[in-house]
Amino acid sequence: MFNKIIIIGVIGAILLGVILIFFMNNSTVQNEDIDLNIKADVIMPTKVSRPGCEENDQCYIPSQIIIPNGDQVTWINEDSAFHSVTSGFYNEPTGFFDSGYLDPYQSFSFIFDKIGVYDYYCTLHPWMKGQVIVE
């Protein structure tokens, strides 16, 4: 009787292991389908949700980008916190573009079709500022 209980327990443990391996492999395959190789022109690096990145102008990298008229700029959030790319200045948005909140590794793209200087900021972190110059 005792041997039967041990055998049933071992078989149960093996089946549980097989089931866990199956589900782990399926979730890995699903994650491999996500393309994390987005070509970004501007990066929001890690730890910019804390003040300090503005001291060396590293909240958006690069903080200033010069592009020809009609080009697109893509930003990517590489931080673990939410961020945004919003035209204007903190408490003074212009409404020209707004990414909304970007999850980690989410990107936002915008085509600039008018020559000018476009300041932008993060609505959640007022020290984060950048600029697009369209020539």
Q: Which tens digits make up the pLDDT trace of 102-133?
A: 999 999 999 999 999 999 999 999 999 999 99
**What is the average per-residue pLDDT within 86-110?**
96
Looking at every residue in the chain, the average pLDDT score rounds to 84
Whether residue 2 is found in the same domain as residue 68: no
Confidence of residue 39 (pLDDT cuts 50, 70, 90): confident
Whether residue 73 is found in the same domain as residue 90: yes
d(CA 134, CA 72) in angstroms, rounded, equals: 10
- Residue 11 above 90 pLDDT? no
Whether residue 13 is found in the same domain as residue 67: no
Whether residue 61 is found in the same domain as residue 5: no
**What is the average per-residue pLDDT within 15-22?**
51
**What is the average per-residue pLDDT within 54-69?**
96
Whether residue 10 is found in the same domain as residue 67: no
Which pLDDT score, from 0 to 100, does residue 8 have? 64
The torsion angle over the Cα atoms of residues 20, 26, 30 and 31, rounded to 10 degrees, is 40
**What is the average per-residue pLDDT within 8-15?**
60
Whether residue 82 is found in the same domain as residue 127: yes
Whether residue 30 is found in the same domain as residue 89: no
Whole domain around residue 127: which residue ranges?
42-134
Largest CA distance in the chain: 85
Q: What is the pTM of this model?
A: 0.72
Whether residue 57 is found in the same domain as residue 99: yes
Which pLDDT score, from 0 to 100, does residue 65 have? 97
Q: Are 102 and 43 in contact (CB under 8 A)?
A: no
Question: Domain total for the chain?
Answer: 2
What CATH number is given to the structural domain containing 102? 2.60.40.420
Q: Is the peptide bond between 51 and the residue preceding it cis, with omega within 30 degrees of 0?
A: no
